[in-house]
Structures are given as structure tokens and as C-alpha cells.
Copies of this chain bind each other. A is one copy, B any other.
């Protein structure tokens, strides 16, 4: 190599976003293997590509020459959390709407709405959520007329905190064609003014689509902003990689725009929202890893049933609180197998949403059958796997199945699950330990924005089966708790493995990307309450600091 080349090469290196060799020193490093085995270390060396070249014990010196040294100040360092199941763009789009969840009176809400409308004069609709007339002490639903007083120039549409009602102004009612002569749709209700058929402004449940369906889709620039905001939320919570469940073509284009512009920081393992989308994007095979291991289309997300709350989950027997109802299949057994085959044929990965025990059985049986034709390392995923017949748990240990579960659902849903199923049918509910003991692979996620973006809350639930209030005392069906190490593994190496990303990220190990978080305490030395209080101090991806709590 001549000198000119060397000079040119220096320019190349400086132009790359990565640092040169960096020694991150004076840390309490912890990483876990998928089986929960822990590694502890006191420092690591990160190379120019953002990969870990060396882990160091206390007192060790790096074997290669170092350009930069970072003092970790004795902080706990764990692998960046890998969120095995969330909805990236929905999380981001949620940040763009007006949040009324902290308002304590109708007047406060109205003034927030007025201020928001003034701040965004170009938005054709004002969209919001989170209001709660109970919290306001109002004793009744709010009205369109009250909304009209603060915004009358464009439609306003605000979802109630539970998502089961929407509050519209007159312009929104007009846009949705909701009038005195509109009849209540099945399963829905149009609230009416006293002594009149005139709509009052609130639409309940199945009446909500009357307006939802006329809300204009987000603008492209809103999508880009949404992805930006979603990434910030994730990084603030220590999440450095996600499995995006149900990527649409629009979502994919948005993610690629970010990747092309160098604005994709969080790693995304994508599961298309349909086989058509999967084939459109991937063509004859899953995509390669793009943008230095920051994006890959792995396969497809299929929906086999609905949720417990709406009694859409498929059960082996009647709902305890709705006799004669066993839920509604979203795919027939044949449809499920056909779609799974189409994906597996070209080695796309299949993730099947299954919540009820009948749905889980159907998914397990389908995997059993398809595994004959589609052998090898397929990593069939079952998403949620919430209610499993205890007799079926053993099947999670076969064919390399991945149980992609979200611990916080257990505490959010436990009372409802008891009502829906009765005590006796919950032997395989949120059965993390049983699945692990059966030999299944566990991947944890938040399911954001359905649940908060908070992997530490998930860890706390996983080891305690208690909610933030510590209830129920001793834990709900505590025989299914797992160890701290197992829980951390499911939120890091396990979720990475579930997306074919092992060896790239998910552990702090030589050759993997240096994605890590600095925490205010060690979650492997803390109880559930303490884990909930742990703060994410810094988040690093590929050896670069992408979040610092002090800069917020």
C-alpha cells in the first residue's frame, strides 16, 4: 500500500459512522446465553464495524491497540433488549396523536385540544386518544357540541382510554355520515342527545368504524416522523432490536427510507402482514440483512384467532362467561396450512398469532404436519401462545418451535382470563416455565403499543407474575415464573434467535454487534419491584451511543 492509499483509506474510515477501536472499560457487564447461562465481564473492545472484538475481565488489557477509551463508571451493562413482538409503525403513529390520558376535567381536555389544533394548523383532522369521563368526574359522555366550541374548522376524533368509544365533533360526524337516521351497527351504539335521535358525538365499539374509516391515512412525512419517534421511544427503553409483527408495504417503504438515509438505528426483523406483502418484498426468498444487520424481512405474520378480551380467541370449549361461544377462527385449518406452506416453500419464516387453546393446538398441529415437508431449521413461531391446553405444552419442545410471548399480558389479562375460561382451564396459561421445560424456545416482547414499551416491566412480571402493585401477593400461578437469567435471555438472545439473528446481535459476545444498555442497577440482582425501578441510562447500538438519559 502506498501513502496515497493510506491517506485515502483514512478518509474512508473517518467517513464511516462507526468509531475506530474503542475500549469500554470499568463496567459490570452481563450477557446471557439462550439457556440462561451468564457471562460477566468488566470491559469490551468494539471494532470499526461496531462489532465486539474482545470481552475483558477485570484487570485485563485489550490485545489490540485502542483509539478511544470510554469509562463505564462501574455501571451495569446488559445486551440491548430485543423486543420479540411489537408493532413498530403503530407505536410511532401513536406518538403523533393528541394524548388526553392525563387530563383531569373536560375543561382541561378542551383547552388541550384547542392548543393542539392551533399548533398543527395543517393537519386535516385532529386525532387523539386517552380521554376518560370517569376520571373527569363528568358523570356522562362529552358531546360534539362541546368539541365544536374549540375546533369547528375540521373534524376531531378522539378515542376513549380503553379504545371502546370515540368522541367526534360535528365535522367528524358529518364526514362519517352519522346522522339521526343512522341506525346502530350490530355490536355498536351511536349515543343520542336526550329525547332525540340526533347523535350526541360519542360512538361506541362497532359504531366507531363509521368514522375510523373516513380518517385520512397518515401522510408520508407523518410516517417518517412516526418511525423516528418510535425509535426514540425504543432507545429510551433500552430496546435495540425489534421483531415488527405485520409489516405493511407502506411500513416497509418507510423503514427503507430511514435505512437509505442512515436514520435507521434500531434493528428490525420484519414479518409481513400477509403472504402477498411477503412475496412482494422478498420475492423468491427472505431478504438479506440490510444496512449492517439493521433490517431483514424474515417472513410473514398470520392471524389464526382474535383476543381474549373481545372473546375472539379460539377455545376448545365454550367461554365460561359466554356459553355457546368458542371464538371465531380467522383462518380455516386448510387456509392456515396453505399460507404456511407458501411461506415455508421459499424458506420464509412463519409467525402464527394464536391466543386461545384451540388456536394454539391448531398451530401446533399444523407445524407438526408441515415439518415433514419443510424440514430443517424453520423456527416456526407462535405469537402470544397465551392459553395452551396443558396436554399440548410438550409440543412446544418439538420442531424447534418458538413461543413468542409478552410477559406483561399475563398481569394485564389475568382477571379477564379467569372470567373467560374459569380457574380449571388455566393450567397452561402464560406457561413460560412449562414451555421452557418442554424444550421450547422462548422469545419475549412488549407487544407495544398494545402494552407499554418497557422490557424491564416484562422482566419483573416474568420472575414474579405480579403487577406493578405487587398483586396478586405471591404471584398469579407462580409455578410458571422463570429465573431472572431465563427472562433476560428471552428478552435478548432468545428474541434474536427467534429472528435468525444469533451471531449478529442479542448477546455481548465476540463477533456480535456491540448493542448494549447501561442500567442503573443489575436486574439479575434485583427483585421485581427493584427491576421496575431500574433506569436505562444509556443505549448503544453498534458501538455508538444512541441514547443518553442526561441529554433528554
Which residues of A are in contact with B by a Cβ distance under 8 Å? 1-2, 4-10, 12-13, 20, 48, 64-65, 219-221, 223-224, 249-250, 253-254, 256-257, 260-261, 279-284, 287-288, 290
Most buried by B among A10, A220, A250, A287: A220
CB-CB < 8 A to A5: which residues of B? 9-10, 13, 20
Q: Is the CB of A221 within 8 A of B6?
A: no
Taken together as a complex, chains A and B put the C-alpha atoms of A250 and B282 apart, in Å, by 10
19 more contacts with CB within 8 A, not counting A220-B279, A256-B256, are A1-B6, A1-B9, A1-B10, A5-B9, A5-B10, A5-B13, A5-B20, A6-B9, A219-B284, A220-B282, A220-B284, A221-B283, A223-B283, A249-B249, A249-B280, A253-B280, A253-B283, A254-B283, A257-B287
Q: Is the CB of A283 within 8 A of B260?
A: no
9 closest Cβ pairs, A-B complex = A9-B9, A220-B283, A221-B284, A220-B284, A6-B6, A1-B10, A257-B283, A220-B279, A253-B280
CB-CB < 8 A to A9: which residues of B? 1, 5-6, 9-10, 12-13
**Chain B, Cβ-Cβ closest to A7:** B1
Taken together as a complex, chains A and B put the C-alpha atoms of A7 and B8 apart, in Å, by 13
**Chain B, Cβ-Cβ closest to A281:** B253
Cβ 8 A contact of A224, one of B1, B284, B290:
B284
CB-CB < 8 A to A7: which residues of B? 1
A218–chain B nearest beta-carbon distance, Å: 11
CB-CB < 8 A to A8: which residues of B? 48
CB-CB < 8 A to A288: which residues of B? 260-261
A192–chain B nearest beta-carbon distance, Å: 39
Most buried by B among A224, A253, A254, A280: A253
Taken together as a complex, chains A and B put the C-alpha atoms of A48 and B7 apart, in Å, by 13
Q: Is the CB of B290 within 8 A of A260?
A: yes
Taken together as a complex, chains A and B put the C-alpha atoms of A287 and B220 apart, in Å, by 12
A32–chain B nearest beta-carbon distance, Å: 31
CB-CB < 8 A to A260: which residues of B? 287-288, 290
**Chain B, Cβ-Cβ closest to A1:** B10
What would 29 A/B residue contacts be, using CB atoms closer than 8 Å? A1-B6, A1-B7, A1-B9, A2-B65, A4-B64, A5-B9, A5-B10, A5-B13, A6-B6, A8-B48, A9-B9, A9-B12, A9-B13, A12-B12, A12-B13, A219-B284, A220-B279, A221-B283, A223-B283, A224-B283, A249-B249, A250-B280, A253-B280, A253-B283, A254-B283, A256-B256, A257-B283, A257-B287, A260-B290
A504–chain B nearest beta-carbon distance, Å: 17
Q: Is the CB of B4 within 8 A of A65?
A: yes
A144–chain B nearest beta-carbon distance, Å: 32
**Chain B, Cβ-Cβ closest to A4:** B65
CB-CB < 8 A to A254: which residues of B? 283
Taken together as a complex, chains A and B put the C-alpha atoms of A9 and B8 apart, in Å, by 9
**Chain B, Cβ-Cβ closest to A261:** B288
**Chain B, Cβ-Cβ closest to A48:** B8
Taken together as a complex, chains A and B put the C-alpha atoms of A287 and B253 apart, in Å, by 11
**Chain B, Cβ-Cβ closest to A220:** B283
CB-CB < 8 A to A64: which residues of B? 4
**Chain B, Cβ-Cβ closest to A9:** B9
Taken together as a complex, chains A and B put the C-alpha atoms of A504 and B435 apart, in Å, by 57
CB-CB < 8 A to A290: which residues of B? 260
CB-CB < 8 A to A10: which residues of B? 1, 5, 9
CB-CB < 8 A to A249: which residues of B? 249, 280
A291–chain B nearest beta-carbon distance, Å: 10
**Chain B, Cβ-Cβ closest to A284:** B221
